[in-house]
Structure 1
């Protein structure tokens, strides 16, 4: 039910609002899925509570191209739009075929290549995957640190106290 700030602007004869009413709404937490559907939740809500229904997914407060995965213990803010980020890859075990071929293209810096050769190179697929996971975790840690340490570049403008009355 709308709450009228100025009852004199409420037309009782026509039973219509004249436009000067304040409508109080409860703000929801909105999460956009990959297919564009908006999921609505009531606050208070933690990231982990949403992810119980979406195993392997993550939640980001920003859209592409910059994605910062939120921590599981983070409370989501009402009125803000979040993004449900799907898992990046499927595990190899899901393919089900022993004859499947997996091609991997590695893009390494000269320094990473030197480290790989110095450490004896890659002996098996498992070794390569474990080294790639270590590199990815290192990069993810750096990206998360960048997201957490971001601050606006503009300084706040202090308000002056003017006594008009």
Structure 2
């Protein structure tokens, strides 16, 4: 019976995410190992608490290190402005409150014929049309229609 002496090389073991173990002669720097892998990787001493080693850190023989991919950090999400939905009563209340504070110019879309537009422009001063002008004009048209309908009813 003989005695056997085995000289073990001092190696650094690095486990990849697929379970394969890579061995390197100690001492070796982190950046030397990372230079062999394309992409975003880091080396950690434990898998449970991930704390990346600095590139200039020296890895010691006999220890197991973990080669982990660095997850891309997504840019902070900018909160999208939500559309405000207003109902008719709220709008009326807000308009009344605004009228009490100041007077404002409000744009509205109006679908009218060219003849009606010409009549509005001629009847107003300086081509400036107010909402009151339009409402008055519509009321006049409704009143004349009511009168004409009344005349027709009397004639029959």
TM class by shorter-chain length? 0.3 to 0.5
TM-score (norm 2): 0.44
TM-score (norm 1): 0.42
Higher helix proportion: 2
